[in-house]
Amino acid sequence: MSSRNPAVEALGVAVAARVPVLLWGAPGTGKTSAIRAMAEAMGLPCETVIASIREPSDFAGLPIVVGAEVRFAPPAWARRLAEAGHGLLFLDELSTAPPAVQAALLRVVLERAVGDLTLPDEVAVVAAANPPEQAADGWDLSAPLANRLCHLAWQTDPRSVADGLAGGWTAPVVPVLPDGWEAEEILSRGLVAAFLHVRPGLACVPPSDAAAAGRGWPSPRTWEMAARLMAAAGAAGTGDDARSALIRGAVGDGAGVEFLAWLVEMDLPDPERVLADPASFRLPERGDRAYAALAAIAAAVATDPTPERWTAGWQVLGLAADAAPDVAAVAARVLARCRPDGTALPAEIHLFAPVLRDAGLLPG
Amino acid sequence: MTVAEHGIGDLAAARLWAATTFPYLATGVFGAQVIAEPGSGTVSVDESWRMRADPELTAQWSPAQLGSVLIHHVCHLLRTHGERAQGAGVRPDEARRWVRAADAEINDDLVPAGLDLPGRPVLPRDLGAEDDLLAEQYFDGIRHASQAQSGAGAGAGDRPGQRAGGGLGGESQDRSAPSGAADTAGSWLDCGSGADGMPRPGDAPGGLSCWQAELLRRQVAQEVIAHARQAGTVPAGLLRWAEETLVPKVNWRVLLAAELRRAVAEVAGAVDYSYRRPSRRSAAVSEFSQVLLPALRRPVPEVAVVCDTSGSMTEDLLAMVLAEVEGLLRALGLARQVRVLACDTAVAPAQRVSSARQVQLVGGGGTDMGAGIAAAAALRPRPAVTVVLTDGYTPWPAAPPKGMRVVVGLLGGQAPEAPPWTRSVRVTGLAPG
């Protein structure tokens, strides 16, 4: 139970999907050791680069004049990773890196380009940072750099600290994604696209205040990142909490929560389709979803109360009455108020009399 | 989901009553899972939106009473009382007091709206407090009262505040955790970890996960607001909760720190690389090339703080913000460069003080921050960043001062906007954290 820390799980998925990820957490909470342990468990070479003590030329390449041209020579850690063909590039202390170094990091993080050298696709980029208010000399992450990373909050749960002290720390597990998982990315991209059709305002929202600039924010690039992470999380079979952390980490809390809420709504049956074929209705298991589904159907009938639709609505409520009499009764009260003239009372209405009477909502 | 499965009679009727009486909370009521737990002697709730109810206890209640208890517990979850208890530093032995404070936060506007709890509900006046406060504020009140009591030798300290009046006798009838007569020993019923954040032995994994609970909470908040717009009969406290849930309050300390860091960084060029001096690395690589590398430079900007000292300012708030600003600047390594100017009227010269403690609110009207900013600009060496702390009731210069960045701290929630050429942060009192 305690080992299923959503942030740890999400880190594993992001590394497996090769999406650059940034862990935010207070100093001393084990971000660095978790990442090193993860690389060791995977048997990958891990190159740690402390961004705050590096110069821009360490990431953009050291300029060297060779004949008539300038080459940008990559540092040794980049060569080692390129030669290994895979591995983990760990950028520590990202938020204390001076702005010029952050600017130089832009291409490293997203395109894995270090000077004239391009790191292989199999190299995963992981970064760690202390929130600026906790680091003595921290700067807020520049918005372009923040937009290239999936931000995960590294929380320390007192119980897992206790477990770790007593029984040793467990390394985050990087899930093995099945071959062809990227095919699922098409599906999740479709979902993101459908959401952005409904909420075009969320396609690109650059942060307005200084504090929000250093975190995830919605842009075409981060939405693409969110779709990839969602597909990877699905393929890896991760928990809901981790999936939600990944989506919110990519596009920011505000847009991420809206998208997740929309996904939940997408699961509900379409009221018009149910009214056309009442027998096909399946009551959602969770009470609040059942309520949302039935309320939507009742509202759909109320907006256009033809006798057929009204009767179909009652048939649906009849199907739900056994499993959720209270939920169905709330919808029944809506239907009862919009009875079309001359329509016969449906048989289902009697199913709700006892519960309505018990609740004191019927006389007698 | 059937009633028989739950084993609690009248549950359907109770939920129906709750969903009809408080339609804006219906999603919350149906979102909570109810499990029968015979012999527990209470109705409790955990943070995963599961309620455990003792069928024997609930059988004594009418559907409206059971429905009210459901609503009450849903409000514990909506208002994240479990999580907030940890934030407020509630110790396990104080959990009962916290629950009373949390109950008061829920009941103060829902009881007038028709909540029909069994027994006598805890209301703010039982705690000797006013309505419309937060659980944290009620809790502080109880804590102080009990400290005063134990200081006077009252001992146990488990009987905070005033005894709830009412004097209902039927102890087994009394659901006294959220209800009155709360201190009668033995009759206290446990609201569960959803109300006080203390894990219970019965809290098994399952139920709603954190983010599902978060989505459900937002859904309810949206429905509360939609209902208030259509019908307008939502209790004010609940509406405020909904608004704050959907538009979370930003901690002004974080915002102020970020704005200040940004202003200083923009002016100073931060700790950044410049070609003013060649990098020492050039020497190391010059064997191979003739390239000039930039070196790390750190220009240190001058910072001035201008304080509005008119009578309309709140002294506590000003002192707090000044201390915050000084702390932030010290963290940026700029403490020695800071000069604080106290500014009142347009005519009086800005005075120079060396610390926040020396700023005095002299009172009187006619504040002009323009004069303060001009005085700051006249300082030598000229400050590159000026922080203005004001209540906003002041004329502003029409144009930004040349070569100086202005960060404004607007004190108080009602302060008028600062001009767009400043970066302003609204300081709204004691923010959490």
Most confident listed range (A124-128, A284-288, A337-341, B34-38): A124-128
Q: Shortest Cα distance from A347 to chain B (angstroms)?
A: 21
Region B273-286: mean pLDDT is: 64
Q: Which residues of A touch B289 (CB under 8 A)?
A: 63-65
Q: Are strands A46-50 and B294-297 parallel, antiparallel or unpaired?
A: unpaired
Region A320-349: mean pLDDT is: 87
A337-342 contact pairs (CB < 8 A, 24+) = A337/A302, A338/A301, A338/A302, A338/A305, A338/A310, A339/A305, A339/A310, A340/A305, A340/A306, A340/A307, A340/A310, A342/A307
Q: Which residues of A touch B288 (CB under 8 A)?
A: 64-65
Q: Do B423 and A257 touch (CB under 8 A)?
A: no
Strand partners, B36: B53
Given this model, what pLDDT does residue A144 score?
86
pLDDT over 90 for what percent of chain A? Answer: 29
Q: Are strands A113-114 and B43-45 parallel, antiparallel or unpaired?
A: unpaired
- In B167-280, which residue ranges form alpha helices assigned H by DSSP? 193-196, 210-230, 236-246, 252-268
Q: CB within 8 A of B338, min separation 6: which ones? A: B303, B304, B305, B326, B329
As given in the structure block, the two tokens for residue A312 are 């179909």
Region B56-77: mean pLDDT is: 90
- DSSP conformation class of A239: -
Q: Do A292 and B281 touch (CB under 8 A)?
A: no
- In B22-62, which residue ranges form alpha helices assigned H by DSSP? 26-31, 55-58
Q: Do B293 and A63 touch (CB under 8 A)?
A: yes
**Burial environment of residue A282 by CB neighbours within 10 A (0 to 12, 13 to 18, 19 or more):** exposed
CB B199 within 8 A of CB B47: no
pLDDT over 90 for what percent of chain B? Answer: 7
Given this model, what pLDDT does residue B18 score?
92
**Which of A188, A269, A262 lies closest to B215 in space, CA to CA?**
A262
Written as one letter, the residue type at A232 is A
Residue A19 pLDDT level (bands cut at 50, 70, 90): very high
**Which of B301, B327, B257, B297 lies closest to B405 in space, CA to CA?**
B301
Buried b (16+ CB within 10 A) or exposed e, A234-260: bbbebeebbbbbbbbbbbbbbbbbbbb
d(CA B244, CA B275): 49
Region B14-32: mean pLDDT is: 91
**pTM, entire model:** 0.73
CB A298 within 8 A of CB A328: no
Q: Shortest Cα distance from B154 to chain A (angstroms)?
A: 35
* A-B C-beta contacts closer than 8 Å: 160
Mutate to test the interface with A, among B5, B15, B282 (most CBs of A within 10 A): B15
Region A172-185: mean pLDDT is: 85
- DSSP conformation class of B430: -
Q: Work out the widest C-alpha separation in chain B, in whole angstroms.
A: 95
CB B83 within 8 A of CB B102: no
Given this model, what pLDDT does residue B315 score?
72
Q: CB within 8 A of B179, min separation 6: which ones? A: B103, B117, B118, B119, B120, B121, B122
Does pLDDT of B420 surpass 50?
A: yes
Q: CB within 8 A of A323, min separation 6: which ones? A: A283, A290, B1, B2
**Which of B34, B15, B12 lies closest to A355 in space, CA to CA?**
B12
Does pLDDT of B167 surpass 70?
A: no
Residue B177 pLDDT level (bands cut at 50, 70, 90): very low
Strand partners, B389: B307, B409
CB B71 within 8 A of CB B22: yes
Q: Which residues of B touch A326 (CB under 8 A)?
A: 11-13, 15-16, 19, 30
From A186-195, A248-257, B187-196, B285-294, the region with the lowest mean pLDDT: B285-294
Give the residue from chain A lying closest to B269, CA to CA: A99
Most confident listed range (B14-18, B185-189, B315-319): B14-18
Mutate to test the interface with B, among A265, A326, A334 (most CBs of B within 10 A): A326
Region B194-213: mean pLDDT is: 80
Q: Do A360 and B15 touch (CB under 8 A)?
A: no
Does pLDDT of A85 surpass 50?
A: yes
Does pLDDT of B358 surpass 90?
A: no
Given this model, what pLDDT does residue B170 score?
32
Mean pLDDT of chain B: 75
B209 → closest Cβ in A137, A240, A356: A240
Given this model, what pLDDT does residue B275 score?
67
Given this model, what pLDDT does residue A1 score?
36
Most confident listed range (A221-225, A239-243, B131-135): A221-225
d(CA B348, CA B351): 9
As given in the structure block, the two tokens for residue A39 are 């690389």
Does pLDDT of A363 surpass 80?
A: no
More confident residue, B303 or A252: A252
Q: Shortest Cα distance from A98 to chain B (angstroms)?
A: 6
Q: What is the ipTM of this complex?
A: 0.73
Mean pLDDT of chain A: 86
Q: Which residues of B touch A211 (CB under 8 A)?
A: 250, 254-255, 257-259
Instruction: Please state, in angstroms and as integers, the Cα–Cα distance from residue B88 to each residue in A288, B38, B140, following that order.
Output: 30, 33, 9
**Which of A216, A92, A109 lies closest to A153 in space, CA to CA?**
A216
Region A203-219: mean pLDDT is: 81
Region A180-188: mean pLDDT is: 88
Tens-place pLDDT, residues B297-332 = 666 777 888 888 776 677 777 777 777 777 777 777
C-alpha atoms less than 13 angstroms from C-alpha of B203 in its C-beta half-sphere: 16
**Which of B354, B326, B329 lies closest to B341 in space, CA to CA?**
B354
Helices B210-230, B236-246: axis angle to 10 degrees equals 130
Does pLDDT of B47 surpass 60?
A: yes
CB A59 within 8 A of CB A119: no
Q: Which residues of B touch A138 (CB under 8 A)?
A: 261
What's the residue count for chain B?
A: 433
- Phi and psi angles of residue B307, each rounded to the nearest 5 degrees, phi first: -105, 130
More confident residue, B3 or B344: B344
What is the edge-to-edge ordering of all strands in the sheet holding B50-53? B33-36, B50-53, B43-45
From A31-40, B46-55, B232-241, B259-268, the region with the lowest mean pLDDT: B259-268
Q: Which residues of A touch B297 (CB under 8 A)?
A: none
Q: Do A63 and B333 touch (CB under 8 A)?
A: no
Mutate to test the interface with A, among B8, B25, B116, B211 (most CBs of A within 10 A): B211
Given this model, what pLDDT does residue A80 score?
93
Tens-place pLDDT, residues A290-309 = 999 999 999 999 998 899 99
CB A83 within 8 A of CB A119: no
Q: Do B26 and A330 touch (CB under 8 A)?
A: yes
Region B44-59: mean pLDDT is: 88
Q: Which residues of B touch A71 (CB under 8 A)?
A: none
Region A340-353: mean pLDDT is: 84
B1 → closest Cβ in A239, A240, A287: A287
Q: Do A287 and B11 touch (CB under 8 A)?
A: no
Residue A47 pLDDT level (bands cut at 50, 70, 90): very high
Q: Which residues of A touch B216 (CB under 8 A)?
A: 288
Given this model, what pLDDT does residue B184 score?
35
Give the residue from chain B lying closest to A286, CA to CA: B31
Q: Do A287 and B258 touch (CB under 8 A)?
A: no
Q: Which residues of A touch B203 (CB under 8 A)?
A: none
Please report, for chain B, how many H helices and E strands are present, in that order: 15, 11
d(CA B338, CA B357): 14
pLDDT over 70 for what percent of chain A? Answer: 95
Does pLDDT of A90 surpass 90?
A: yes
CB B90 within 8 A of CB B139: yes
As given in the structure block, the two tokens for residue B172 are 């087994």
Does pLDDT of B273 surpass 80?
A: no
CB B386 within 8 A of CB B373: yes
d(CA A301, CA A276): 11
A288 → closest Cβ in B10, B27, B291: B27
Tens-place pLDDT, residues B136-159 = 888 888 888 887 776 654 444 344
